[in-house]
Structure 1
Amino acid sequence: MTMRMTIPAGSRKHRTSTSSTPWARQIGSIKDSNALTSCSVARVNFCSGPLNEKRAGRGGPPRRGKPNFQGSDLPQGPSPCNQTDGLALCIIDSKKPLLVCPASSPAGSAREQEESMMRSLKTGHWVALVCMAALVASCGSTRETAWDTTSESTQLDDAAQKKVVQLLESANTAWANRGDKAQAKAAVDAWSAAADLDPKNAQALTELSHAIYYYADCFLRPDEENPKLYKDTHEEGTKAAERALSAMSPAFAAKMASGERIEEAISVLNADAVPALYWRSSNLGRWATLESFATLLSYKDEIRAIMEFCLDEDPLYWYQGPDRYFGIFYAKAPGFAGGDMKKSAAHFNVAIDEHPNYFGTRILMAEEWAVKEDNRPLFEELVKYVLNGDVNSIPAIIPENQCEQRKAKKLMEDIDDTF
């Protein structure tokens, strides 16, 4: 039997591979290679009815009163299948958003195959998928949080206060030159030292979380020889934001100390907490993605609730950051876990419309949306805009835009492996 393997977004492998190995033997070989484990495999039957034709003309992600991207048709789901249609057996790998399907399954992008499954499942199958999602999420890794649940304020003597001021000045000076790797690291170190001396300094801790994210994303991400450092650095950024949130709100700290879930505890926070919440979610999302797909699923409800809070309280933060985050969220999540490519496109487009020269949004849409939809024309349009853009168009984020241009160059170099 010939098999088609759909590769997840961002993979450097080709999108399909074939094998004449029988099902049982093929599944066994996957297990033997540790690609799948007993905790990460589920099998789903679905009808593989014909795909509807894509809509004519220039389709694309929904935009608010703006022209659509050229060549970016949103794929239509398959027509409902009859009970007499043949069933195809697929395997879902929970460590990666991966479907392994027979050749008789719908051809095309990963999303087309997933929507074929979603639209044709009956109620009983939906229940099975919900249960499967819960089981997959339960397999995810956990992490040690850094919620500071102590209520005592730290009294600093004059010498300590003076040292904190000096460290904060050093951090701000280094941050102004963060386009240089050494200066970016110096900013992280200075804010970290200041927060150690003054653990209730919520502003310093928030700046630290932001600086850690930038340093990891722009200088550690390309280092394929040390992926653990990249992952661990994002975890440190998550912890810094957790300390910031505890420092800024004794009521929030008390709720976390009582064991309340953060989704409920954030009810006592206001818009002032959005920066710390945003950088916590950004660092946590990267850490969870690097840890495993099951880990990412286990945090999805928490992250969604936090970012909905940010979207309600301060949607403009960090160049429409909450919309950009939901663009990633809905694209990365599989359909059975709340993924929705149309919602993803809508959020990405809001962020691009509001801040067209914040290059990071276009790079993320290319990586998460265009790749998953197998949409090379849109991918090239987004990435080339960044490559040809003016990094000085937003003076406050010149280093960030320079970083995104480096990513864009690498994405274009690897485009034939991506598509």
Structure 2
Amino acid sequence: MTSALRKLFAAAALALLCLALAGAAYAATTAELIAQGDALYAQRADLAKAKQAAGLYEQALKADPKSEAAAWKLSRTQYWVGMHAPKEQKLAIFQSGVDAAKQAIAINPKSLPGHYWLGVNYGVYGSAKGIMESLSLVDPIKNEMAAVIELDPNYEAGGPYRVLGRLYYKLPGLFGGDNEKAIEYLQTAVKKGPHRYINQIYLAEVYFDEDKGHEANQLLQAVINGPVEPDYGPEDAEWKAQAKKMLERK
């Protein structure tokens, strides 16, 4: 091998090494951004930190557009932020949640959290927009929850059944609303997620609507007295406060 060829091979090897090192640093940066976002999301009771978490997930997704984790975690965080945002900001935030979940599914068509958070964000987007103006989202929500049930019916403590139960309760009867179906789905959600207290709260709402106050009160009392689910402290505090208000009103 000539001296020129040796130099050429050495230069090529050095270039490949630099590319490999750059790739490793690239991956580490994305992982670090997601980890920082996770740490802030754990403190989401402080809305400013939840917004910071969303920003970090967005950065991670820009750094690696193929990061399913960054995409679905952004969608989940935008749901939380949107639920606590002023009315005039909700649509844009929930739309961001929809877009992020769609990206997770584009990355992985069987993305369990992608399908779940897409359906959830569709639901809250529709609620913010107004039921009559968002009827086109009913079938997409059902489709996303069907995908979640096929992948894992227990996901998010009965999450797909919770979403479907809420959907059938909120829909006007003329457009498919059905309290019996709502009760059936929400009872399943409660069985699958006895400490995910939003299940009981949603079911109690339907019971009150059906003049089943005794059953509703029992559910709400269980929410107030029940143990906190690990990693759901911020939600638990809100659910217990909501249950107390519902009991006081009835």
TM-score of the two chains, using structure 2 as the length reference: 0.81
- Answer whether contact 1:205 1:244 (CA < 8 A) is retained: yes
The CA distance in 1 between the partners of 2:38 and 2:142, in whole Å, is 31
- What SS does structure 2 have at the residue aligned with 1:193? helix
Deviation of 1:189 after TM superposition, in Å, equals 1.7
Deviation of 1:197 after TM superposition, in Å, equals 1.9
Cross-structure match for 2:125:
287
Deviation of 1:307 after TM superposition, in Å, equals 1.3
Structure 1 residues 341 and 201, CA gap change in structure 2 (3 angstroms): same
For 1:364-390, what per-residue CA distance to the aligned partner results, in whole angstroms no more than 9, with x for missing partners?
2234x1354354444433333222222
Cross-structure match for 2:15:
none
Cross-structure match for 2:202:
364
- What SS does structure 2 have at the residue aligned with 1:395? coil
Are residues 1:184 and 2:42 paired? no
- Answer whether contact 2:76 2:97 (CA < 8 A) is retained: yes
Deviation of 1:167 after TM superposition, in Å, equals 1.1
- What SS does structure 1 have at the residue aligned with 2:66? coil
Deviation of 1:345 after TM superposition, in Å, equals 0.8
Bigger relative contact order (CA 8 A; separation at least 6): 1
The CA distance in 2 between the partners of 1:181 and 1:362, in whole Å, is 25
- Answer whether contact 1:174 1:184 (CA < 8 A) is retained: yes
TM-score of the two chains, using structure 1 as the length reference: 0.50
Structure 1 residues 381 and 235, CA gap change in structure 2 (3 angstroms): farther
Cross-structure match for 2:164:
326
Are residues 1:174 and 2:12 paired? no
How many equivalent pairs are there? 229
Deviation of 1:410 after TM superposition, in Å, equals 4.1
Equivalent residues in 2 for 1:57-72, closer than 5 Å: none
**How well do the aligned residues superpose, as a CA RMSD in angstroms?**
2.3
Deviation of 1:412 after TM superposition, in Å, equals 4.2
The CA distance in 2 between the partners of 1:215 and 1:408, in whole Å, is 21
Q: Which has the higher strand share?
A: 1
- What SS does structure 1 have at the residue aligned with 2:240? helix
Q: Please list every run of at least 4 consecutive aligned residues from structure 1 whose deviation after the TM superposition is greater than 6 angstroms.
A: none
- What SS does structure 2 have at the residue aligned with 1:356? coil
Cross-structure match for 1:397:
232
Cross-structure match for 2:220:
383
Deviation of 1:335 after TM superposition, in Å, equals 2.7
Are residues 1:277 and 2:115 paired? yes
Cross-structure match for 2:95:
235
Amino acid at match of 1:232: A
Amino acid at match of 2:135: L
The CA distance in 1 between the partners of 2:244 and 2:91, in whole Å, is 23
- Answer whether contact 1:216 1:230 (CA < 8 A) is retained: yes
- What SS does structure 1 have at the residue aligned with 2:73? helix
Structure 1 residues 274 and 165, CA gap change in structure 2 (3 angstroms): closer
- What SS does structure 2 have at the residue aligned with 1:406? helix
Are residues 1:309 and 2:147 paired? yes
- Answer whether contact 2:131 2:171 (CA < 8 A) is retained: no
The CA distance in 2 between the partners of 1:406 and 1:211, in whole Å, is 22
Deviation of 1:407 after TM superposition, in Å, equals 2.7
Q: Quick one: percent identity of the two aligned structures?
A: 28
- What SS does structure 1 have at the residue aligned with 2:195? coil
Are residues 1:299 and 2:159 paired? no
- Answer whether contact 1:363 1:408 (CA < 8 A) is retained: yes
Structure 1 residues 407 and 190, CA gap change in structure 2 (3 angstroms): farther
- What SS does structure 1 have at the residue aligned with 2:231? helix
- Answer whether contact 2:120 2:141 (CA < 8 A) is retained: no
Q: Which has the higher helix share?
A: 2
- Answer whether contact 1:323 1:351 (CA < 8 A) is retained: yes
- Answer whether contact 1:366 1:383 (CA < 8 A) is retained: yes
Amino acid at match of 2:68: A
The CA distance in 1 between the partners of 2:48 and 2:128, in whole Å, is 24
